[in-house]
Structure 1
Amino acid sequence: MSALPTPRRLLLATGAAAALPARAQVPQGGDWPARAVRIIVPFGAGGPNDVMARIVAERLRERLGQPFVVENRPGAGGSTGALIASQAAPDGYTFLFHSSAVAIAPALNPRQAIDPRRDLTPVALVADVPMTVVARPEAPGFGSLAEAIATARAAPGRVSVATAGVGSANHLALALLNALAGIETVHVPYRSTAQSVTAVISGEVNLAFAGIVEALGHYRERRVRLLAVTTAERAAALPEVPTIGETVPGYAVPLWFAIWAPPGLPRPILARISAELAAMREVPAVRDRFLALGAPPLMAPPETLAARAAEEVPRWQRVVAEAGIRVE
């Protein structure tokens, strides 16, 4: 995921399915939807944000009988698309499929970035996805996370760690590790997570913080070693890989994905789409596609997403301030 620059004004940031409950059991939102619905993805096509959004859009189209069209609006580390969504009419025809970057933006640009707690309507917490700590196989001093931390302590400011850019979720996950483990590393920002993993493979850097989607293929081909995952529990797709918290108590940083709407979305529409998303979690064809991404679907209700934002925004404000992170 890319960094979060500060543009002029950022006021706000399948397949066949098993049988589901009859549509009459889903809370009705009047005649909604009566036409195509757009789902804004604030990043480019092909990334995990985009792939998950398209799985969800396909299932909603099947269930609700109208097109759900994914619209990629990249820019400013996800803030451009978030701004567009926040300013759309709250009529149920615009939604935003965003990552945890939406909770990081207020810390990096407090005067201009959108704050999801006030500027968006929470719809569903879709998935928690692990980030991973990536090293080269057989690299001396980096056989495990504990060994990597010991190497960093012995050589302050010499262990290099790649991320997807200044202010990215990967970068802040690294900053939190530095703080909790009491180490000093050299942050090396790249333009994308894929590039940061390639930098580890080529030996340009010692480590990288990378999403599971970008790291999994390289790991299975034994081009990289995964030292740890960032979630509180071990990943279902990688049960053999320990969590960072097993070495650094208290550490847990999932990369999470969620659906939002413009502020003021009518409650009947919110209830209907929330119910459809919750039912989607139990559909094997949907669940299998999420699991292939290393992302067990949560499809948790609006209240859960609101609580996540309420916790995450101030958390990253503290981390950014303490680490002195600045986005140019």
Structure 2
Amino acid sequence: MDKGIIVEEGPPKQIFEHTHDVQAKDLMRKMVFTRIWDKRAISLNRQGRLGLWAPVSGQEASMIGSEAALTKDDFILGSYRDIPQIVWHGLPLYQSFLYSRGHQHGGQIPEGVNVLMPQIIIGAQITQAVGVALAFKLRREKHVAIAYIGDGGTSQGDFYEGLNFAGVYKAPAIFFIQNNRYAISVPIEKQTAAQSLVIKAEAAGIKGIQVDGMDVLAVYKAVSNAAERARNGEGPTLIEAITYRYGPHTMAGDDPTRYRNKVEEEEWKSKDPLIRFRKYLTRKGLWSEQEEIQVEEEARAAIAEGIKKADETPPMTIPDLIDSMFENTPDYLEAQKHLYANLEDK
């Protein structure tokens, strides 16, 4: 690996030595919850009860470990696969379901929850994160903006522009690549000739770290260190987490069996982040099968309640949509609102 590129690795004891046992258990609880949530979301999508869903199983360590290393004052900007981080950062679960259904309330972020809703435009969250980070810097606030992106998104112009701008102005930002090896169906080897994605930090003059994205402890440490650097005015960090998604790219018709083979899939399943962390916590006497069953039951109950609340949310109306877009509604849209109101009365 070139100079300036650091590979975060090592046994969990070394990586997580300053973190309390209760925090370690909380990481496991959130990963188990997220795995159950992912399975249920896939089922709900197939039933037609949920819209867009990008499966996350296999990527829990990179998602949960990174969010846990932040404070609630830090800002998260994700892509469409990054709903778990946004929810764990404070967005109510039922609103994430509404967002998936295209309901405007799904994107009405509660006061004090520092997130933007998932970005559908590939790579646009990178430049947005730079803007948020520079706002923190101008206000002299010791907060950090983190943007998540997939390996495919690193081929977008916004990715390079954002890194360059952040490097020049030493923005307190973290750019977190979840390299799950396939941009939909295109393998990483066919997407870039670079020996890694983290090496792209060199061109922007920023720090780069490559980390085992299947190890929640390594991810936690990498993001903690990057956040500390940002708060100290040392500039942004690019993190490449090597991970793997077990499911399809999204539930919109992708078939991973057409571009992945069983041998590869089994190899990555042996690195399952839940299995690895479960073994570690069990050896320390911090986790048991009964605790995991309890978390699974709590997850199912919370998901059921979230769906119920989403189902009970009044349907979105065109007048509501218009009102939410303008502080002072233009006259021609006020006329349209009255038109729709009259149609509804009939």
Same fold (TM over 0.5): no
TM-score scaled by length of structure 2:
0.23
Pair member with larger Rg:
2
Tell me the TM-score normalized by structure 1: 0.24
